[in-house]
Chain A
């Protein structure tokens, strides 16, 4: 029997089906790992009792021959942006510190119904705003990876789904949920050497997920293999009438073409992603990825996405604009933190001043500014126009190619404390992931190799809208070719 915390979803299922171990044993092993690696701060709220109860129920179902899904009995971490019934849901913010929802988000409800075992609520950047998981009110998350060159500085796990990524990389959870607004699944996946997948906007319901930027937010799986990502998304996805932006489409079998290879597929490499000052090792892992796909029989062609350079600045108008409005509900009146004041206005000011961290305040202010009378046209309207141009770039590119290959992030995981004083430097982390977000496209980060320092680097694939099947197909080929076996030392 292999180490229980080393399993994938697929191998855990096989083991459970074969009776090699029980869901309770599997849960207990992960609960132990969670306790052992507490210093990584991957969880805001741990739910070991709930996990054991979930596991017992899974064992009972399996014994009765009523396995609920491929995730039945599989221990997962739930990003603390998903509202979970009866379990505190903080969004990484002080303002929601006491908040226990009386409802379950659609995605977490599907995972629950599918029999997954919830270990706890994973740490994240406050309201999913951040790229290093350092904005959480509950403290930063530590990346289990350290450089292999004697530089022992703690590394950030990326963000905002940093707790989820670190927990999966550190073998605390077999898989985790993430949410991605501009790269919040894919960039931490790249930093932590795991697979992170953002589906097409509308594929997963947003109902019950604390909103950051409604037109961009999308839930997705974070796993150690491409196959696991496909399996997990299968359970998470589906039309939800409670979310008006949820796509009214049937969910395809995401694993259908995992073993089909890439022969005959066309893979685009966008020239505009070769940005100034890009580290050579990022360029070389990208080149390596293209070579692998070519070697496997895909045709790799250079494409142009001319408006790429406008994606990040545009994102930092639209996302804060929506956030400034979405976060208005945290006012101390009905739930969450309330800091009293002498009148209503003072109560608002005190509550929001104390309840929100600096990065959240910064984005609320940016968003409020760009929506203000006199600035709206110059910023918000302009940004929306650019957004349609970005989408048009992709639409025409996809007339020629089946998927697009880019690096996931412009660097490997940086040290805790780096880039912390320069928000723009921090925002640049998402330069490669944001364009797909703006266009609502499915995208995935797959470990491509290690940096010179021995830290993981991700490769990023972007697919056609609602064509996750092809995206997984290419990602699987890339994963096979990369043969990424490295793991953080000591995990």
Chain B
């Protein structure tokens, strides 16, 4: 394994080395029964404008009423990223005109967010682990969608998303490489999914990311940043950062200066381009929303949510290592998501953990990949896999036979025990029977025996193979090894 870098690679330019400074703003759609301030449902993929209440469409006289479930989800998320839940927070209006923003303002939290501080521990690819600070988490409304490609001169508006609850999670400018940003996003998404507060599906837009990028020579003051908007996959985040950093370096080294602006990432061209400059930036005229009271949370409320928090990936991973004696790497794989972790524990509990883990990470995951299943929907589930592992553990079948049994299970959907029974695959563990088999093989291969005894140790494998072949693989391999050795040695 290559050594992990203490500091990420710097970018080389004509004027020396450059460091990238990255901060991320993640918009995570809250998993909830209804929108943030209206009772409207929020089914993804519904017909346009079917998930809209009069409040979401900002009809005259309509008023927002805070959805308490969304607050609970935000508090849970805040605790999950080690933040401080503020007992006083407030909703503000962010005013701007756009066709898919019915109120003419977004209800957000500006001055007093529900969560401040926090951190996410990440393991960037090829780099040492790092702690990324979280500045704040606040709750806000999403806008609707403008659809520009349905009519030659007009745009369509779909308000299904209008008013949906988002959590905006703002990181500190703590990241120094695309790898770190990717690791942060991946980890944040994993935590949100564990908490059940956001499904993290970037392709469906339920998690979106704006990237703040600047460059500087190491040790210098922070450079001027550009914000790259709406990057909708983790892969694109890395590409956008690298493109944007190189663009800024090129610009500076050619005598230009970076202007603070909002840029858009174009994944088809792999480049960012200017959307609006700071001069064109909106003056959002934030002020406290007079339709809503400040949000006050009691200690007991916060503690009740804390008490109901699920075990998070880092803790689970450490526990898997401690409880089941598996490697940290395997534990990392097994805690990738809550379903995998639950599946793992279901199989491993009460069994030989190492054997079970090898089976899960090996043949079982290969099977899932090949067939396009995941741990929640595969016809061969944890119980059946456990049954197979049990047969290996109690020496009913050998590991080699188990592979055949597993293939038969996939084909027929039957339990391992039934297949073993049906096909007569029970392992031969009778010493006498195996010894007779060995004697027979030795008798038939006197020439090989001579060669073995004159120093060709490697022929040991040949004899094992012959014995296994004679038993159609059913002989217990350990016993074969054990009994064969003294007979060959004479």
**B-contacting residues of A (Cβ < 8 Å)?**
82-83, 89, 91, 96, 99, 101-103, 105, 206-211, 213-215, 241-245, 321-322, 324-325, 327-329, 331, 333-335, 344, 348, 368, 371-373, 376, 380
Contact = CB atoms under 8 A, between A and B. Distances in A.
B292 A333 contact: no
B442 interface: no
Nearest to B54: A103
Interface residues of B, number: 30
B59 A101 contact: yes
A199 B469 CA distance: 96
A99 B60 contact: yes
Given A82-B61, A211-B61, A322-B287, 4 more contacts: A325-B95, A328-B104, A371-B285, A372-B283
A283 to B, nearest CB: 35
Given A241-B65, A244-B64, A244-B65, A214 B290 contact: yes
B290 A322 contact: yes
Nearest to A333: B99
Given A329-B103, A334-B102, A372-B285, A242 B60 contact: no
Contact of A328 (B57, B97, B290): B97
A231 B99 CA distance: 44
B102 A329 contact: yes
B290 A371 contact: no
A241 B157 CA distance: 30
A209 B287 CA distance: 21
B63 interface: yes
Residue with the highest number of chain A CB atoms closer than 10 Å, among B60, B93, B98, B287: B60
A209 B293 CA distance: 19
A399 B380 CA distance: 76
B291 A207 contact: no
Contacts of A91: 60
Given A215-B290, A371-B95, A372-B285, A331 B63 contact: no
Contact of A244 (B93, B103, B283, B292): B292
B66 interface: yes
Given A103-B54, A213-B290, A371-B287, A89 B60 contact: yes
A368 B57 CA distance: 23
A102 B60 CA distance: 11
B104 A211 contact: no
Contacts of B58: 329, 334
Interface string B57-86: 111111111100000000000000000000
B463 interface: no
Closest 9 CB pairs of A and B: A328-B104, A371-B285, A214-B290, A215-B290, A208-B61, A329-B58, A210-B60, A373-B283, A83-B61
A100 to B, nearest CB: 11
Given A103-B59, A206-B63, A368 B293 contact: no
A243 B54 CA distance: 14
A373 B93 CA distance: 14
B61 A348 contact: no
B184 interface: no
A244 B287 contact: no
B63 A368 contact: no
Contacts of B97: 328, 331, 348
Contacts of B293: 244-245
B194 interface: no
Contact of B60 (A96, A333, A372): A96
A244 B104 CA distance: 20
